Amino acid sequence: MAAIVEAARREDWAKRYGARVAAVISNRASAGGLEFARKRGLDTAVLDHKAFVTREAFDEALAAAIGRYDSPAAPALVVLAGFMRILTPAFVSRHEGRLLNIHPSLLPAFPGLHTHERVLEAGCRFAGATVHLVTTELDHGPILAQAAVPVLPADDADTLAARVLTQEHNLYPRAIGEWLLTHQLDEAGQR
């Protein structure tokens, strides 16, 4: 998330694409990204998923929070960064085509959790990260961008994860910029 916020400012996404990072919303009050966002003047919100009886109720509240930043002329691009919750089909459908995620593998290989451990157990020579559109099938949406890193002989899950994370910090902002470029609105609010 921090890499995205910094790229948006450094590359002047407001001027370049007519886009800005409007808010950071987390389901954990302790998320470090909230303080990072506040220090940069961004709106923040916390929706503790444990306070909701159902996944659907949480997703409705999350959609409402996101909706405060949505408008017909500038629909919100919803970017998941460190958000480790499976979203309901209704939520995904509501944001279809503008809901992005990054996953620490070269999808379609190794969707889900414990990615780096599974890469090492499988004896892969390369690992990486994938930015994709979110669909109702976990980590199976259309791929927007990927970055590969070699798996080194001395790697453990932590060293591999650190190297992949470095690529994620470059890949995700670049993929968002490319998405924004291809989805720019003209002055009449049309694509």
- Residues catalogued as catalytic: 103
Question: CA dihedral defined by 2, 11, 176, 25, rounded to 10 degrees?
Answer: 40
Q: Which residues of 41-64 are buried (b: 16+ CB within 10 A; e: fewer)?
A: ebeebebeeeebeeeeebbbbbbe
Residues 147 and 162: their CA atoms lie apart, in Å, by: 14
Residues 181 and 171: their CA atoms lie apart, in Å, by: 15
Q: Which residues pair with 55 in a beta bridge?
A: none
